[in-house]
Amino acid sequence: MTELIIKNACVFDPMQNIHGDIMDIAIRDGRVVESVRNSADVIDAEGFLTLPGGIDSHSHVCGTKVNFGRYMSPEDMRAGRTARRGKMHVTSGYYVPTTYGNSYRYSAMGYTTVLEGAMAPLEARHTHEEFTATPHQDMLANTLFDGNWSIMEAVAKKDEQRAAAIVAWTLAAVKGFAIKLTNPGGTEAWGWGEDITGIRDTVPNFNVTPADIITTMMKANELLRLPHSVHIHCNNLGRPGNFRTTLETFDLVPDLNPNRQTLYATHVQFHAYGGTTWRDINSKASEIAQAVNAKPQIVMDMGQIMFGRTMTMTADGPMEFNLHCLHHNKWSNHDVELETGSGIIPVLYSKKSLVNCVMWAIGLELALFTKNPYQCLLATDNPNGAPFVKYPEIIGLLMSKRYRDEEFSTLHEGTEQRTSIAAIDREMDWNEIAIMTRAGQAKALGIALQGKGHLMPGAEADVAIYPIKCREVDPATEYRKVVEGFQKTRYTIKRGRVVARDGDVIVEGANSTFWVNPSVPDEHNMAHDKEFVKKFEEYYTVQMGNYPVQDVYLPRGRCIGTEADL
Amino acid sequence: MKVILETKARKKPFLPIEAESIIPRNFLNGTELTVFEGNKERRLSDIFRIFVEGTSVTPEKIEIVLKGDTSRIKRVGEYMDAGKITIAGDIGMHCGNFMSGGDIEVLGNADAWLGREMRGGNILCRGNAGHYCASGYRGEKTGMRGGRVEVLGNAGDCCAEYLTGGEVHIHGSCGDMAGVEMKGGQFIVEGNATRPCGNMKDGTCMIFGTVHEMLPTFEMIGTRVMTDRKVTMTVYKGDIANRGKGTLMIQK
């Protein structure tokens, strides 16, 4: 039995409505408890800001796509090099670091749970192997279903039950966590050399539209009672005027679940562009935020961009091809048989580029216009918008109008006409930041019940203590202290163990991978479905028996069982 | 101030030495520097016999002379910003990486990556240069940005790859794919070149020898008389396959 008590912590725990109370947190065997014995180890938090462990609800840190980003950018491996030190492995890379690099940097920032935004089912083994090598964060994997042929056939027949059954089998087979739709239908169309421009276009060779896929998958998701909702990357990413597609998508969303949202829209910044071409692009963040304010069934994340070099990687192959045509830089494209595709290109977001400045403003506007912070979470779609190490700066920007104004004055002068960021006075408080970085994520991902995102007795003892005296520091003026404070925790505690101190990781990690196993009645078990099996044997390059990921790939897997309503 | 570094005989003379610490600025505070021989960190005095003449308070006044078997010494002059380095013999790979000022003179041959991603200063190589002379490193899209590299002998393949600024002057011939991906700057080859300037975006390349396997993606736009040399050059624009606006001039 190991016991630990954190004394004098200035705690913000939005789920329990604790706003800056000075209190003690007792931990026994990796869980928060009411009290511990006097012999427990003591950590003095000295009145510093103490939050539940951070959760990133959309990040690309593992999997073949990220790895291909690494192959493609040997120049990035020259940045961010750290030598082996104590328990820390060698790391390198800035926007696509090594897995340990990702893990240490997240840990230094107090993040203890990360969701990998897109995992191609066929490539799940490699993703899980990289999860194991990202040892300080609990990992979850969104599983791509956007161009899955069996799903699209079920959608064409309007058979939600069949779609749900296929999802259930696939999630259990690849140890995935939730349904991810990336440019639904679009990637598949692109595989045939065509493209989709709106959610009412028909996918070639399949008599379905993106709208059909989204609607059916939302229903299937609820039939399976999955912890997380459908996680969508809307169609038409990064095209001027695409806010209409986004609003149309939001209009499709019914309120199906009282406990959480029905649709999680990711990196909405890339989907909130007005105008018709890159020349007249402008911000439609307020329209998007209005729609979200009116619909509690939708949660989004910012997809903030920050200036500097980074790498875009997404399952949205056609979009990456368009970007490649714009930049003429190196580009990778990848098509995963019957399932999905992906593309990767490096980018440089520059303050000299008006488009980039507008993008920067849109992300912040989305967060500031959304009334309920539970509905707009903080993420950069790492590394697409910016590497996650920029999160502290984003927190600073959200908390301080002065910081925003200072940054704004360095931007391209046309930004003011295209955006309304300069007119927004809202400054977020500590509680709202705590929601946008942990509580909101836990609720949206449906892992609050697993003890994530809060510090109630029974919760996983994931705690981040930041060297910020939150009662003395005024974030509106002393934003530098806020940014610095969020960059390096004094202590990051993971499952009751101090894993990082002052930015240095001090122990070997022992993360878990959460996955979902929906139990379905036997008649819906796809392993016995003749048609499904036949298609599989006919079209896939692997035998169906070899497709599921063996338990050995998840040394510390944690299964979340659900009872499907089929 | 003059610092003479003369190599001692080594037990394993083929092990490369990583000597990025050998730049004039570092010798302002004495010679207590370290280099890596293979994976072992060594004091400078373990590898070299060190002779120091005079003193200096600024790096501009410091001249380093490398003597002996220096062909396995890598990264000499990396991030150098002032002063002078003279190498009496051959020099190993990556000489003058990222240098932004000062002079390097190599009396023998230079190995690969001479002056890669250079920002300023001068490099003069009196012998031949290896592959990737004055280029960008793997994956890096902005190669040499400023300064001047002059090679009196020949250069290897991919010379001046990703050249973005500054001047590269090769008095001999270049190997394959000279000046590919050029984005600026001036590149002069007195001898021959093979498949030059593929995917060129901008900048000027002049070749006074024979071009082998000229790429078909360059458009001839006219001729220009070089009055100083009294020769007529054929001028090409390209690489049009990739919207390039570079200028390639070849002597008739």
Size of interface A-B (CB pairs under 8 A): 15
Q: Which tokens hold the place of A530?
A: 């003749």
Please give the share of chain B, as a percent, with pLDDT higher than 70.
100
Q: How far is CA A294 from CA A255, A297, B52, in A?
A: 12, 9, 77
Q: Which tokens hold the place of A295?
A: 């619909």
- Structure confidence by residue, pLDDT tens digits, B110-147: 999 999 999 999 999 999 999 999 999 988 888 999 99
Q: Which of A443, A499, A445, A471 is nearest to A110 (CA)?
A: A499
Q: Tell me the C-alpha distance between A94 and A76, whole Å.
A: 6
Contacts of B41 in chain A (CB under 8 A): none
Q: Which residues of A have a CB under 8 Å from any CB of B?
A: 72-76, 78, 328-329
Q: Which of A72, A96, A328, A330 to mutate to test the interface with B (most CBs of B within 10 A)?
A: A328
Over residues B89-100, the mean pLDDT reads 95
Over residues B10-29, the mean pLDDT reads 94
Q: Which of B144, B157, B186, B152 is nearest to B172 (CA)?
A: B152
Contacts of A73 in chain B (CB under 8 A): 139
Nearest-CB residue to B137 (from A72, A75, A328): A75
Please give the share of chain A, as a percent, with pLDDT higher than 90.
89
Over residues B145-150, the mean pLDDT reads 96
Q: Which of B20, B132, B138, B202 to mutate to test the interface with A (most CBs of A within 10 A)?
A: B138
The average confidence (pLDDT) of chain B is 95
Predicted pLDDT at B139: 86
Q: Which of A274, A134, A131, A149 is nearest to A203 (CA)?
A: A149
Contacts of A327 in chain B (CB under 8 A): none
Q: Tell me the C-alpha distance between A551 and A547, whole Å.
A: 13
Over residues B93-100, the mean pLDDT reads 95
Predicted pLDDT at A325: 85
Q: How many other C-beta atoms are found inside a 10 Å radius of the C-beta of residue A533?
A: 13
Q: Tell me the C-alpha distance between A93 and A383, whole Å.
A: 12
- Sequence-distant (6+) residues with CB within 8 A of A314 are A60, A65, A118, A182, A233, A237, A320, A342, A343, A384
Predicted pLDDT at B4: 96
Task: Say if CB A48 and CB A12 are below 8 A apart.
Answer: no
Hunting for tokens 């003749």 — which residue is that?
A530
The verdict on a CB contact (< 8 Å) between B242 and A72 is no
Dihedral sign, Cα of residue A497, residue A500, residue A505, residue A509: positive
Backbone angles phi, psi at A244, to 5 degrees: -65, -45
- Structure confidence by residue, pLDDT tens digits, A323-367: 888 888 889 998 888 888 889 999 999 999 999 999 999 999 999
Q: Would you tell me the crossing angle of helices A391-399 and A354-369 to the nearest 10 degrees?
A: 60
Predicted pLDDT at B74: 96
ipTM value > 0.95: no
Q: Which of A237, A370, A210 is nearest to A296 (CA)?
A: A370
Predicted pLDDT at B208: 96
One-letter identity of residue B55: T
Task: Say if CB B203 and CB B183 are below 8 A apart.
Answer: yes
Distance to chain A for B162, nearest Cα, Å: 13
Single pTM value for the model: 0.90
- Sequence-distant (6+) residues with CB within 8 A of A54 are A106, A109, A110, A111, A112, A113, A437, A438, A464
Distance to chain B for A554, nearest Cα, Å: 34
| DSSP sequence for A283-301 | E-HHHHHHHHHH-TTEEEE
Bridge-partner residues for A264, per DSSP? Answer: A231, A299
One-letter identity of residue A495: R
Nearest-CB residue to A75 (from B140, B242, B243): B140
Predicted pLDDT at A211: 96
Predicted pLDDT at A38: 92
| DSSP sequence for B48-84 | EEEEEES--SSGGG-EEEEESS-TTEE-TTTT--SSE
Contacts of B141 in chain A (CB under 8 A): 75, 329
Exposure string over A52-73, b if 16+ CB within 10 A, otherwise e: bbbbbbbbbbbbbbbbbbbebb
Segments of chain A scoring below 50 in pLDDT: none
Contacts of B243 in chain A (CB under 8 A): 328
Predicted pLDDT at A474: 94
pLDDT at B247 exceeding the cut of 80: yes
